């Protein structure tokens, strides 16, 4: 099993190392391993990807207007591969990119809101600026949290990194951290898992950040961006985009 897994990642590495876009090649859509429910995550049994993004792209793929291959990688390498031309697309807020001027972005899919979570209710006057004592916070490894960075610097918050959003919540419920940061859709989706059905989760009154969520592309793929922009607008105007999102969070 271990050998097969290593062989799989070795083959994936070779595919990236030799990657260059040809006319009929599928576009490589990078997924920050192990994915992010409900947006884009993997069925462990058959290794297919599902979620909001595959559903948004499905009609374009079925009509052969676009050919997409989803591939997993780490969060940091995912962004680097777009800069290096080794991959084509990824899902992230443009505001979280290290060098946003080097890539292009679709119109926003929606406003991505992140909240603090804990295992008891937040007081009405809760504020990170008024913490009585230092707190630990479960975060996603490789992720950047600009609005929390000042609190990391002055040691008011101590990062405790996890490998996935599911692990983030698991660590919170096991008291390995005082707080967790998740997007509202991540939290709603993960809390539906059998693993957490007996747990209670409480959200901060106000979001920690609100940013547009985009599909990011290499600048050479402006024609793909234009097609995606038109497609997203149509889905939004028809109400289908809202229906796709509701399918995964309710």
**Domain of 225: which CATH number?**
3.40.190.10
Q: Is residue 143 part of a domain?
A: yes
Nearest to 208, CA basis, from 148, 153, 155, 150: 148
- Residue positions counted in the chain: 250
What's the domain count of the chain?
2
pTM over 0.75: yes
Give helix then strand counts, H and E, for the chain.
8, 13
Residue 1: inside a domain: no
pLDDT tens for the chain, residues 1 to 250: 444 444 444 444 444 443 444 446 899 999 988 888 899 988 777 778 999 999 999 999 999 999 999 998 877 788 899 999 999 999 999 988 989 999 999 999 999 999 999 999 999 999 999 898 999 999 998 888 999 999 999 999 999 999 999 999 999 999 999 999 999 999 999 999 999 999 999 999 999 999 999 999 999 999 999 999 999 999 999 999 999 999 988 7
Residues 15 and 103 in one domain: yes
**What separation in angstroms does the CA of 81 have from each of 20, 22, 71, 93, 103?**
12, 17, 12, 16, 11
Same domain, 57 and 135: no
Question: 2 in a domain, yes or no?
Answer: no
77/164 same-domain check: no
Task: Show Cβ contacts of residue 155 under 8 Å, excluding neighbours closer than 6 positions.
Answer: 134
Whether residues 218 and 188 fall in one domain: no
**Rounded Cα distance, 187 and 183, in Å:** 6
- Residue 3 counted as domain residue: no
162 CB-near residues (< 8 Å, 6+ apart):
138, 139, 140, 141, 168, 170, 171
The C-alpha torsion from 200 through 187 and 146 to 77, rounded to 10°, is 130
Is residue 71 located within the same domain as residue 29? yes
Is there a single domain that holds both residue 13 and residue 71?
yes
Same domain, 127 and 200: yes
Same domain, 105 and 226: yes
What is the helix (H) or strand (E) element at residue 238, kind and residue range?
helix 222-238
Same-domain check for residues 141 and 183: yes
- Residue-number span of the structural domain to which 46 is assigned: 8-110+211-249
Instruction: Indicate whether 15 and 104 sit together in one domain.
Output: yes
């Amino acid at each position: 099993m271990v050998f097969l897994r290593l062989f799989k990642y070795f083959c994936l590495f070779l595919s990236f190392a030799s990657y260059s876009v040809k006319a009929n090649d599928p576009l490589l859509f990078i997924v920050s391993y192990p994915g992010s429910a409900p947006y884009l995550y993997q069925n462990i049994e058959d290794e297919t990807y599902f979620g909001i993004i595959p559903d948004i792209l499905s009609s374009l793929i079925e009509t052969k207007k676009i050919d997409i291959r989803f591939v997993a990688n780490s969060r940091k390498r995912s962004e680097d591969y777009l800069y290096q031309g080794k991959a084509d697309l990824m899902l992230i807020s443009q505001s979280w990119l290290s060098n946003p001027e080097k890539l292009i972005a679709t119109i926003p899919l929606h406003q991505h809101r992140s909240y603090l979570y804990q295992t008891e209710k937040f007081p009405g006057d809760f504020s990170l600026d008024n913490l009585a004592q230092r707190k630990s916070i479960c975060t996603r490894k490789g992720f950047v949290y600009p609005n929390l960075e000042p609190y990391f610097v002055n040691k008011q918050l101590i990062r405790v990194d996890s490998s996935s959003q599911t692990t983030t919540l698991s660590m919170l419920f096991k008291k390995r951290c005082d707080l967790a940061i998740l997007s509202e859709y991540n939290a709603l989706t993960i809390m539906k898992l059998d693993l957490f059905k007996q747990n209670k989760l409480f959200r901060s009154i106000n979001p920690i950040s609100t940013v547009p969520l985009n599909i990011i592309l290499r600048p050479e793929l402006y024609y793909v961006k234009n097609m995606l922009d038109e497609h997203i607008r149509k889905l939004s105007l028809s109400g289908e985009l809202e229906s796709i999102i509701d399918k995964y969070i309710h």
